[in-house]
Structure 1
Amino acid sequence: MKKNALMALAISFTALHANAQNPVVQTSYTPDPAPMVYNNKVYMYTGDDIPGFDFYYMTRWRVFSSSDMVNWTDHGIPLALESFSWARDRAWAAQCIERNGKFYWYICVQTEQNNMSIGVAVGDSPTGPFKDALGKPLITTGTWYNIDPTVFVDDDGQAYLYWGNPNLYYVKLNKDMISYSGAINEIPQTVETFGGVRPPRGNGNAANANEKRPEIKDMYVEGPWFYKRNGNYYMMYAGMEKGKECLSYAMSKSPTGPWVYKGKIMTEQPTNSFTNHGGIIDYKGNSYLFYHTALLKGGGSYGRSSSIESFSYNPDGTIPQINISKEGPAPVDVLNPYQKTEAETIAWSVNCKTDQHAKTGVFVSDIRNGGYIKVRNVDFGKESPKSFTASIAAGLGGGVLEVHVDSVGGTKIAAINVSRTGGWDTWKTFTEAVVSPVTGVHDVYFSFKGQNVTAGRKLFNFDYWLFKK
């Protein structure tokens, strides 16, 4: 009876998450997503929230990539506070952009002088390694205003860097992307440009404290995202509604304004987060909004996670209001199971995390009994594979890796009984026969089970997999 109840609970849990896609990463907290399209792939640069604290204590940044918008590969942590000798704390929102084969990652941190400044790291690959390009801040003014950089290179080759809270600033970057010309410019904020202005704080006396302030319908707060589409320039930003942030935007015919307020993109949504921060891209004929919520298990306003929605622009180029969803976008490509696929390529996961090692790279770790990884839209073709191979490391025995299609409890097509490999970082390649033929396109589930092990004990680490015909 007890076994049947547990099975029913597992089936119920699986059904609840069967179509879940948002948040798109479940192995860590990933605020402030900044997407970049490069070489027919989307790269998503995020922060790394540390939940359990009462502030945004962040120390590093993460990178993920996808070619189908549903399966995201974790590329680990190529940049952290330690990468900048002048950084002290608060590794907040950042954005990366490619120019002439180099990748420039604009970040903001608290400095040793106890203010916020913007720096830039450079790499030869979208996933790094990255290094501090200057050895000092690019933008520093002795204030806390210098956060949330966004960068764009216009058609004429001129690059622009925008940033700021509570004001919006920009500079024109030079062609080297690590210096700028001219002064720092502040964008005027009015009802016409950003929907409203921040009310004055008053002088702190009782009369002002009791004075009724005007209702603010919207205003620029932080988190700008600057881009161009069909001759229009867009400035998305974190606006304000009913005491928490929304996503709003303005448009212009010039990269430096004047900006014209167009409204709210994501408003009055149950994100469970005070903040919101996002980016917009076009990819494979579709438009996507990246944003964050605090809906991942264990999350909150200091434990936020990236989510994605697809949308269509209005005929006049304006952006419709967009609601959050559990499903997220539909796949725009299939995954080839006959090529080596990193285990950290994930559409949805339960009871596992990711880790990285200098030699192995990123791998799936902390695998526990009852967990699984879901990979979507896997195309086996017209001929069934004959074998399944996986690279696994285990300091102890007793783990089983089962492969199912269509659901966790779906047809089992292969299974590996994992024996000791000599250590948690000693990798062994296991190969087993495919026991049930499979063809066509399916979602694939890698299910983690323990055999005669203590509940909750770590089972094994998982590096990559592939099928062979």
Structure 2
Amino acid sequence: MTVHNSQYSGYLLVHFIGEQLEGEQVYFSYSEDGLHWKDLNASLPVLRSELGEKGVRDPFIVRSPKEDKFYLIATDLRIANGKGWDTAVNAGSRDIIVWESADLVHWSSSWAVTLGVPGAGCVWAPEAIYDEAADEFLVFWASATQEPQEIERKQKIYSARTRDFRSFTAPEKYIERDNHIIDTTIIAHNGTYYRYSKDETTKNIRVEKGTSLEKDSFTNLSAPALEELLGVEGPQIFKLNDREEWCLIVDRFAEGKGYLPLLTSDLESGEFRVLPEGSFNLGKTKKRHGGVLPITAEECSRLLAVFGDGHQVLPGQFADPDLVKFGDCYYLYPTTDGFTGWSGTQFHAFSSADMRIWKDEGVILDLATEDVPWAVGSAWAPAIAIKNGKYYYYFCGKMESGECAIGVAVAETPAGPFRAQPQPLITMEQMKRLGIAMGQTIDPSVFTQDDGTAYMLFGNAHPAIVQLGEDMVSVIEDTMKNLAGLHDFREAVTVLRRGGQYHFTWSCDDTGSEDYHVNYGTAEHLYGPVTYRYPVLVKNKEKDMLGTAHHSILQEPGTDKYWIAYHRFVTPLTRFTQGKGYHREVCIDPLTFGEDGLMQQVKL
């Protein structure tokens, strides 16, 4: 299961949170940039140890390069049991606790392995690194031992080797210094291994480098910023997925503040810069000594589905989602977000068997290429429809004139490849010619009557509707009208039919505003007028769900069950202090109707 760095999309942090009742168990947190973290599993433990001390600290996770599995190892220690630190150091467990998983969400029962040498007072902070030359894992940890020539116990680093985390070679001393040493972590880069350890006497981090993992291979590497940073422990270092930069996090145990990130662009230099407060966010719980694992988009999606907040479904920055179901498969067609001024050019499609775990089907259309002859960029707000076995993908793009237009592309399958029509379908010039009030020709949605007649709803500042031609790539211009009654309309109008009424929803305010929301109204006729009812999707500030709008609604075929897909500002909210309107993430929630036949407000 070797995964190259370019394939990684996020990070999993496994950690504990402190000495409170449930604090010494395994917690999960998720990040897309390595600096801003979301607590998973509602800030509750994902894994609990019922073995040994019935608690764990210092969890570490490693990917097996040849097996489709992950191993998570941890210290068998629970200070909350009241035995105290003296017992933990001198008469603690000599075991580590191990779990394994094939997918990061389903975990085996834990097992204990005795690694400490006879007489060791503890086995702390176990970690592992794969040794390619030996085709096995080097596992290393700290133990307080006393040898015949020593007058007291001293913390040293020991190691053993394994291929399955069940059978290990005999432990041997790996690092010994004049001072006590604990909390070692290792990273490899370009044939060199960099080793970071806590000097337990001076309470800072020391660095070494070596050409192999052998204990005699390492020499000291000067790292002034780390040597000057006192009262820290639990170093973890990982490469950032999107650039040649590494992040080292250290646990500020002396101040009780949890992890602090430092960055370097050159491991060999030993130069790190401390990030200022406000430039990172470790989430709601205090993050204590743990391990970071870079993960793929599929792994991110799986973690969000099982341990996420119950709203976000796609990892990464996407917006304006169109949610549909073709056959037994669900599809999401969003705007690719994260570009200043909404300047992205590519559209992706995502598929799912259960609407929980989503697969990125890749780029299905790129406005920066010859795929779309009339467009130069600004790929926004797509919608899709099926007719006669073909898939019609409607999308927004900017023309060379700078005006927005709506185009259409056709494919034989929901994931493409799509071939765009050479000219746009809806333009501002057309609006002027037909006398249709319009701010921008954007945000298409498609509604199909029971008789198969398809209509497009669209617009900014003023909503409009038009019947699509039988070929689905043309419009019948004399059916184009503005819609009346959509209170506070801004953009993104959709409609569905239920109980003899047409149910309209539309987005209000500005996409860059935290108050961006969805209004709701009903009509007896498809062309209105619409009777405004009330907002149906609004922010929940307590849950950091802001800017919740630009949506689509899916009715499960053959049922009275509905889902609403929408976007919100990227969380944690501190990740982007500006431009939140083009830093958004996709969510899905149930949508229900009351006994009065009206749509009920979505519960966030």
Q: TM (normalized to structure 1)? A: 0.58
In the alignment, residue 313 of structure 1 is paired with which amino acid? F
Q: 1:6 deviation in Å?
A: 7.5
From 489, 496, 500, give the equivalent of 1:231.
Answer: 500
- Count of aligned positions: 290
Of 88, 106, 110, the match for 2:394: 106
Is the Cα–Cα contact under 8 Å of residues 490 and 506 in structure 2 kept in the other structure?
yes
Give the Cα–Cα distance (whole angstroms) in 1 for the partners of residues 567 and 39 of structure 2. 21
Shift of 1:248: 1.0
Whole-Å separation in 1 of the counterparts to 2:514 and 2:343: 22
List alignment gaps of at least 5 residues for structure 2.
Answer: 1-12, 18-24, 30-37, 42-306, 430-437
From the superposition, tell whether residues 158 and 306 of structure 1 become closer, same or farther in structure 2 (CA, over 3 Å): same
Shift of the alpha carbon at 1:290?
Answer: 0.8
Structure-to-structure mapping, 1:301-380, within 5 angstroms: 301-324=581-604
Task: Specify whether residues 272 and 16 from structure 1 end up closer, same or farther in structure 2 by C-alpha distance, changes over 3 A only.
Answer: closer
Normalising by structure 2, report the TM-score.
0.45
> Structure 1 residues 6, 68: closer, same or farther in 2, change over 3 A?
closer
Q: Residue 395 of structure 1 corresponds to which residue in structure 2? A: none
2:530 is aligned to 259
Tell me what 1:222 maps to.
491
2:101 — aligned with what? none
Q: How does 1:70-469 map to 2 (within 5 A)?
A: 70-81=356-367, 82=369, 83-132=371-420, 134-142=421-429, 145-183=440-478, 185-189=480-484, 193-195=485-487, 219-240=488-509, 244-270=515-541, 273-274=546-547, 276-283=549-556, 285=559, 286-297=561-572, 298=575, 300-324=580-604
> In structure 2, do the counterparts of structure 1 residues 175 and 292 end up closer, same or farther at CA, with 3 Å as the change threshold?
same
**Percent identity between the two aligned chains:** 27
Aligned-pair Cα RMSD in Å: 2.5
- Asked whether the equivalents of residues 116 and 144 of structure 1 are also in contact (C-alpha less than 8 Å), the reply is no
Aligned to 1:368: none
Instruction: Indicate how the Cα distance of structure 1 residues 240 and 323 shifts in structure 2: closer, same or farther if over 3 A, else same.
Output: farther
Q: Matched residues in 2 for 1:60 and 1:275: separation?
A: 23
Q: What secondary structure is seen at the aligned counterpart in 1 of 2:598?
A: coil
Deviation of 1:97 after TM superposition, in Å, equals 0.8
2:514–2:546: 8 Å Cα contact kept in structure 1?
A: no
2-structure distance, mates of 1:247, 1:144: 19
Larger radius of gyration: 2
Give the conservation status (yes or no) of the 8 Å contact 1:167–1:186.
no
| Contact 2:374–2:399 (CA under 8 A) maintained in structure 1 | yes
Task: Identify the residue that residue 209 of structure 2 maps to in structure 1.
Answer: none
Deviation digits for residues 59-106 of structure 1 (CA, Å, limit 9, x no counterpart): 111111222121112111111212211101211111001111000011
- The Cα offsets for residues 333-379 of structure 1, whole Å up to 9 and x where unpaired, read as xxxxxxxxxxxxxxxxxxxxxxxxxxxxxxxxxxxxxxxxxxxxxxx
Alignment of 1:2-81 (within 5 A): 7-8=15-16, 11-14=26-29, 16-18=39-41, 19-20=307-308, 21-26=310-315, 28-51=316-339, 53=340, 55-81=341-367
Alpha carbons 2:318, 2:338 under 8 Å: kept: no
Is contact 2:322–2:552 with CA below 8 Å preserved after alignment? yes
| Per-residue deviation, 1:35 | 0.8
SS at match of 1:151: strand
**Partner Cα distance (1:115, 1:301) in 2:** 20
Residue type of the partner of 2:428?
T
The amino acid of 2:569's aligned partner reads A
CA contact under 8 A between 1:287 and 1:311: conserved in structure 2?
Answer: yes
2-side partners of 1:80 and 1:319: how far apart?
36
Q: Flag the 1:94–1:7 CA change in 2: closer, same or farther, 3 A.
A: closer
Q: Deviations over 1:264-303 (max 9, x none)?
A: 1112433565462101112274321111112345463211
Query: Aligned partners of 2:311, 2:594: CA distance in 1, in Å?
Result: 24
Tell me what 1:457 maps to.
none
Q: Tell me whether 257-266 or 134-143 shows the greater mean CA deviation.
A: 134-143
Structure 1 residue runs of 5 or longer lacking an equivalent are 196-218, 325-469
SS at match of 1:96: strand
State the shift of 1:313 in Å: 1.1
Give me the whole-angstrom Cα distance separating, in 1, the residues matched to 2:407 and 2:591.
Answer: 33
1:115–1:144 CA contact under 8 A, matched in 2: no
SS of residue in 2 equivalent to 1:170: strand
Contact persistence 1:169–1:184 (CA under 8 A)? no
The amino acid across from 1:140 in the alignment is: T
Q: Is the contact made by 1:272 and 1:301 (CA closer than 8 Å) also made in structure 2?
A: no
- State the one-letter code of the partner of 2:27: S
Structure 2: how far apart are the matches of 1:152 and 1:280? Answer: 11
Q: Which amino acid aligns with 1:68?
A: D
More divergent stretch after superposition (105-114 vs 274-283): 274-283
Alignment-mate amino acid for residue 248 of structure 1: N
